[in-house]
Amino acid sequence: MDEESKLEEKLSKWRKSRVISFGDDEEAPGEAAEEDILRLKPKEVSRAPIETLPTRVSSFDKLIKDGGLERGSTTLVTGGCGTGKTTFCLQSIYHGALAGEKGIFISFEEEPHKVKKHMVKNYGWDFDALERQGMVAIVKFDPTKIARSVEGRLAEKTGSLRIKFRKMELPFVPDRIAIDSLSALSIGFEAEENYRKYLRELFETLEYNNSVNLVIGETEQDPQLYSRTGVEEFLADGVVVLYNMKTDKRRENALELLKLRSCAHEKRMVAYRLGNKGFDISYTGGNY
C-alpha cells in the first residue's frame, strides 16, 4: 500500500472513530451526515478564559495589540482573485501545527490532494506529514448537499427559525478551523435568505468550538461589499481584506485589518507579497 493510500485509510478510521456534534440529535449514535457541518457539544469543548492564538502568518500578529485572534472568534478573510486567501489560511494552519496546534481545513471546492499538492509545490508545506502525525486534517464537503439539506429542513419548519442539524465527523477537536469558501457554499442555496439563516447557525457553532476560525469570502478587486451577500462581514468578529491593486503598469498587494472586535489593531493598509514561503507582510511595529 502506498503512502497516499495509507493516509486515506488512517483519515477514514479517524472519521469513523469520532462524531462531534453540538446540541441534542435524534439520530442513532455514531451516525453521520455529510450535509452538516461543525457541531460540537459544549461539554466536549474546553471553555477556558478568553485567550488569543497567534495566526503565525508572517508579521500579521503585530497588527493586533493582543498578538493574535481570540479563541471562539471567526474572522472573514476576503479579497479578489489571486490575492492569496487560501494561502493565508493554510499558512496559519501549517505553522500552527508545527507549534503543536491542531487545525482542520474544510474545502467546498478543491479536492484535498490538490490542495496539498499546490501547497508543497509552491511553498514546501508538507501537509501529508502533518496529517500522519494527527495535527492537521484537510477535508472536502459538497456545498450543494449542505444547501439542499438545510433548505429541505427550513421548508418543514413552522415555528422556530433554528435549524436542527445532524452530526458531522471530524477527526479531532481543533485549535484552528478554516473554511474555503463561503462563496462556494452560498451558490448552493436557491434562496439567499436560507443561506443567511444557515450562516448565522454556522457562526454560532464556530463560536462554541473555542477554536480560532478563518472563513474565506470573495470580493471584487476594489470592493464596496466585502462578501458575496454583504452579511458575512457583519456576523464575523474580524475582517481581513486582501487587495490586488493596479499601479501604473503593475499590480501590488496590500492587506487591511478592516474590523476586529474587542481589540485595538492597526488601521492602515500594509503591503505584502506572496513568496516561496507564503505571505511576507511588510510590517514591523504596532500603531494602534
The count of domains in the chain is: 1
Please classify residue 125 by burial: count the beta carbons closer than 10 Å to its beta carbon, then call 0-12 exposed, 13-18 middle and 19+ buried: buried
Position 177 in a domain:
yes
DSSP state string for 131-152? HHTTSEEEEE--HHHHHHHHHH
pLDDT of 229: 67
**Are 41 and 163 a contacting pair, CB within 8 Å?**
no
Q: For residues 135 and 209, what is the distance between their CA atoms, to the nearest angstrom?
A: 17
Return the pLDDT at 223.
60
Q: Tell me, what CATH number does 266's domain have? A: 3.40.50.300
Q: What is the pLDDT of residues 178-222, one digit of tens each?
A: 999 898 988 888 888 888 888 888 898 888 888 999 999 988 766
Mean pLDDT across the stretch 130-152?
Answer: 90
Average pLDDT over residues 18-46: 41
Is 238 or 2 the better-scoring residue by pLDDT? 238
pLDDT at 25: 40
Domain assignment of residue 113, yes or no: yes
Q: Is residue 116 part of a domain?
A: yes
Domain membership of residue 90 (yes or no) is yes
Which residue segment(s) compose the domain that 157 sits in? 3-20+58-281
pLDDT of 154 reads 76
Continuous segment of H or E residues that includes residue 8: helix 3-17
Q: Would you state the cell numbers that stand for residue 138, as one nine-digit string?
A: 484537510
Name which residue leads in pLDDT, 145 or 222: 145
Residue 41 lies in a domain: no
- Residues 16-43 have a mean pLDDT of 40
pLDDT, residue 136, reads 97
Q: Please check the confidence at residue 264 and state whether its pLDDT lies above 80.
A: yes
Reduced to 3 states (helix: H, G, I; strand: E, B; else coil), residue 201 is helix
**Is 30 among the domain residues?**
no
User: Is the residue at 43 inside a domain?
Assistant: no
Q: Indicate whether 254 belongs to any domain.
A: yes
Q: What is the mean pLDDT of the chain?
A: 81
pTM, 2 dp:
0.81
